[in-house]
Structure 1
């Protein structure tokens, strides 16, 4: 039986990933800043015959990662798999987002990956565990965007950090994978902030954008299956959806074409489309 740590596992991709590993007979440690959600996920897994433990963790805190790492080592020994999944998606133009919002995105989306990898890669090395680290990047890592530059910057950094770590840990038999989902039915947008709007307008924007994300073809279970296969096969970079694969190859083929094409995107156009198709979106959401 292996020990698998999944961050942000109270919901969405993290929760489905934890459930999938547990069904395979692994012990899963569900880490989430929302302890109630983590406990609910653990209860669901245990009820299904699996092994799971919930633990509260603010992934943006290096100190909490150190304490969490010490607890895991004391209770279960070094882990076999770490899935750095926790993240947020704050939206807003480069100049709209203040330094505080930029820092929040970097701390949660990037530094959490750094902190977690430092703590548990060292444990794996010291114990001779031929483990695996999975970091959740994004299709946003492959293209520049006016809608969420902070998110794209953080996820591009996660992609490069993952590859650097993969090169370094290969000598110890530890695999490292970057996963790049595309549009997935999660609450990522709902839990993020939109810069440049009043509180009321931000709530309205978030509700509409979240409704659109809820219509995405792929669910978090699809990403979970890709993560599970990546651990078994030690893949390096894995886009998930067709649009993620398309952007992955298109940006490598012609970065200029991607920049020109995405340059037409703007919040004004996005808001106009949301307003135009609001009745259809409402009907689709209601019918689900």
Structure 2
């Protein structure tokens, strides 16, 4: 599905990001992987190479504009044009509104929202010049409906990512560039594995399909949105949450 295409994936070291990298590698893409841990990034890159994909890594914090610039420059130098950008990097904080330090609020927005903007701005000029490209932002169902487990900073940042997705889709459509988002619900990750049994049952009780999603299932949605299989889809914030939120 992605043979001959180059994809950037941020936040690729573990969980959903790692699954996305591997799925795009299976799809035939060349990969430029970003994350804050160089050692974990190299592990993912090697796993992608075992699948037959070319992969390089650029470590750095997505909240910094120079990280996005470095990733874009490395991709252009090694592979030429960037066809796909997956903005997956994100963080959360569990503090409530009154307990939350403002620095925590700012950090979540810097990573989740500003990081997405930095990477989009790094790749869009070349995509515009080529008249093609696909951007997939990993958002959250917390962007669409509040729940107690999502801190205000996280939900607000992801709601802003959804708006940015729709705005860019409209702005970039004349240039042949599609911009979409996937909004996962509860997914099996290292974090959810630490949930107490009673809380886990509470979460499962809110999911009509009766189970948590897997990183691989979210990666499948990203692959669809990144590929030409979704050539007539843009500006969507696609739910992938087992029915826990429907619209």
Q: Same fold (TM over 0.5)?
A: yes
TM-score under structure 2 normalisation? 0.86
Provide the C-alpha distance between the structure 2 equivalents of 1:89 and 1:155, rounded to a whole number of angstroms: 10
SS in structure 2 opposite 1:243? coil
Distance between the aligned counterparts of 1:169 and 1:92, measured in 2? 36
- 1:85 and 2:80 equivalent? no
Aligned match of 2:216: 221
Paired residue for 2:183?
A: 180
Q: 1:121 to 1:183 in 2, by over 3 A?
A: same
Which residue of the partner structure matches residue 196 of structure 1?
Answer: none
Residue by residue over 1:103-157, the C-alpha shift from the partner in whole angstroms, topping out at 9 and shown as x without a partner, is 110011111111011111112112x141100001100001234541110000000
- For these two proteins, the number of residue pairs brought into alignment is 230
- Contact 1:92–1:146 under 8 Å retained in 2: no
Can you give the 5+ residue segments of structure 2 that lack an aligned partner in the other structure? 205-210
Q: What does the per-residue CA deviation read over 1:49-96, in whole Å, with 9 as the maximum and x for residues that have no partner?
A: 222112212111112212222222222223100000011111111111
Q: Distance in 1 between matches of 2:59 and 2:126?
A: 20
2:196 & 2:160 partners in 1: Cα distance?
A: 25
Distance 1:94 1:189 in 2: 22
Deviates more, 1:178-187 or 1:42-51: 42-51
Asked if the contact 1:89–1:189 (Cα under 8 Å) also holds between the matched residues in 2, the reply is no
Give the unaligned 5+ runs of structure 1.
191-206, 250-288
Q: TM-score, normalised by structure 1?
A: 0.74
Q: How does 1:198-277 map to 2 (within 5 A)?
A: 207-208=194-195, 212=200, 217-232=212-227, 233=230, 234-235=233-234, 236-244=236-244, 247-249=245-247
My pick for the range that moved more, 7-16 or 230-239, is 230-239
The runs of at least 4 consecutive aligned structure 1 residues that moved more than 6 Å come to none
